[in-house]
Amino acid sequence: MKKKIQIREITFDLPKFQKTGIAIFIMLLFSLAAVAQNIKGTVKTDAGDVKIIKVAEGLNHPWGMAFLPDGRLIFTERAGTIRILKDSIVSEPLEGTPEVFSQGQGGMLDIALHPNFEQNQMVYVTFSEPGPNGTATTALGRGKLQNDRLESFETIFKMEPAVEGPNHFGGRIVFTPQNDIFLTLAERFKFEPAQDLSSHLGTVVRLKEDGTASEANPTFDNPNALDEIWSYGHRNIESAALHPETGKLWVAEFGPLGGDELQIAEAGNNYGWPVVSWGDNYDGSKIPDPTTRPEFTDAEIVWTPTISPSGMAFYNGDSFPEWKGSMFIGGLTSSGLVRVQVNNGRAEEVERIPLSERIRDVEQGPDGNLWVLTDEDNGLILKLEPLQ
């Protein structure tokens, strides 16, 4: 953990203290404070001391990122822009991007490269798309990255229906080995639609690379169920990743007042929101626990107080051998990374890495280090590497 040195305000008669030598003592105190500030770029972890490097700053709520084959980092800003980082230099916004609904939690969201990016240069993004009469929805689009712009951008999927409100858009993109896309959605703070299979609200959908429904999706008894739905009864999922060995889709979703949940999103499963939850309503009224309704799928880990999970990555790099196989989840309210170990399908939180920043996304870089985005008006790109 970071050590803090606090020095209280001291007033004194400088000539008098100079004579007694106390001025030298005070200067030593301030020197110690300066040393403390210089070592704030390190944090102690189970993998030893880790250096926190500020790679870029002054970003407008960065949200999602992906590494290009040449090592550059492409990332989104919630206000509606996409930029590229190269050697600590941030580009101007890319041209060819879609119009976004940049209100509240809406805007430009996640970004991912097609698995065959080196051949097709296709970049996929999620964004809050403005709809008629002040409504908005979560959309998935794609375009070719050429000459630092997105060429021929097209929207290939929209969450239906579009509704009013600035909250809960979900939006994480996860490609499968079959080039299908898992897209995490949210119930737009509307509660009951998460149980309605004729709506995409509160679901995970599985799509083909062109945005149409995947043949791998389950079949529901409800004749009105939408073909794209993989799982439902979710609240707001902004963390998702495939387990590198099992191929299972792990997701972490925001609870209400308490009750953030880590789950395996299985085909056809109902996760219970808003009928059950490990959290309470914001007005303090109780919601039945999931154990009272066994027909709903329960969580693997529950966090109360909340961590506000956003971003997820499984680590398999060489920089931190002690972390191999671990899941890392970004924490907004917990201001750091949560490390989780998964063994035989069971998950256990084993460590928290404090970063004193709201963490929006986390990825493993081609250098084997962990990279994170911070969710602020003056957003940062940080890199975690071993302290040599």
pTM, two decimals, is 0.89
Rounded mean pLDDT, 103-131: 98
Domains of the chain plus CATH, in order, are 1-42 (no CATH), 46-386 (2.120.10.30)
25-39, 135-149, 305-319: least confidently modelled range = 25-39
Rounded mean pLDDT, 114-120: 98
Rounded mean pLDDT, 165-171: 98
Cα–Cα distance, 111 to 108 (Å, whole number): 9
Instruction: Give me the phi and psi of 384, to 5 degrees please.
Output: -105, 120
Contact call for residues 158 and 139 (beta carbons, < 8 A): yes
Q: Is the pLDDT of residue 29 over 90?
A: no
Please report the pLDDT score of residue 388 as a whole number: 78
CA 22 distance to own-chain centroid: 50
Contact call for residues 14 and 24 (beta carbons, < 8 A): no
Question: Could you give the 3-state DSSP secondary structure of residue 29?
Answer: helix
Contact call for residues 349 and 358 (beta carbons, < 8 A): no
Catalytic residues: 168
Per-residue pLDDT tens over the stretch 341-374: 999 889 999 999 999 999 999 999 999 999 999 9
Taking CA atoms, 52 is separated from 163, 365, 385, 386, in Å, by 41, 14, 7, 9
CA 211 distance to own-chain centroid: 22
- Burial label for 378, CB within 10 Å (0-12, 13-18, 19+), is exposed
Task: Say how many C-beta atoms besides its own lie within 10 A of residue 296's C-beta.
Answer: 19
CA 179 distance to own-chain centroid: 21
pLDDT band at 40 (very low <50, low <70, confident <90, very high): low
- Residue 216 makes CB contacts below 8 A (sequence gap 6+) with 178, 180, 206, 267
Rounded mean pLDDT, 259-280: 98
